[in-house]
Structure 1
Amino acid sequence: MEFSIRNCYLRPGFTDLRNGMNGLMRVAMSEMELDPLGGDLFLFCGRDRHTVKMLWWSGDGFWLLQKRLNNLTFAWPKSGLEALEISETQLSMLLQGIDFWRSHPVLLAEKTC
């Protein structure tokens, strides 16, 4: 089985994670205005920001994945946007609990003497 994800979309704000596949699919279609059957990965975060659910259509069925952080919370945007597209690198950072929204490159000053 090949895992080929086209794009990764995050739903800002909080989602009721009691929703299963069908409920999250409805959120993707109605609130994010995206097609959940297109091969994109959809991310949803609960109110406590400890849990993220991911929904992905593999071509023959849906995958529903869940990750819960024990000692951290997910950095999650509260924007009023319906969907935010994030990169594979940003997804990796997000799932590790890294707040890439506020990260910035480290600038090294040259030593002058």
Structure 2
Amino acid sequence: MNQLRQRTTYVQSIPIVAITGEIDMVSSAPVSSRLAELLDRNPPALVVDLREVRFFGSDGIRALVETKAQADELGIKFGVVSDSRVVLRPLEMTAVDQLLHLFADVDDAVTALGG
């Protein structure tokens, strides 16, 4: 059974949402909800860390695209951290990698988005 876990920490007032597990049809709703909740707080940026994701389906891609659109509307910078083919390959295949700011680690994301 999929145990999706989300943990939010802050670096320089930027929320970092680290997700562990599988992002699929069932688990994408809580992920989208959490990201929307954080955007409502109007942070300077929002970073999603997907390095511990073991499965990343089309619903995960949709969640990221929707979050990016919401962030753009609010003028909030949005970045995704992943060094895994499980996440990067679907993003490349759908050209969503061209839409998102992708980073290999959280420090790079915070540096790029925090300035």
- Provide the TM-score with structure 1 as the length reference: 0.30
Structure of greater Rg: 1
Between structures 1 and 2, the one with greater helix share: 2
Between structures 1 and 2, the one with greater strand share: 2
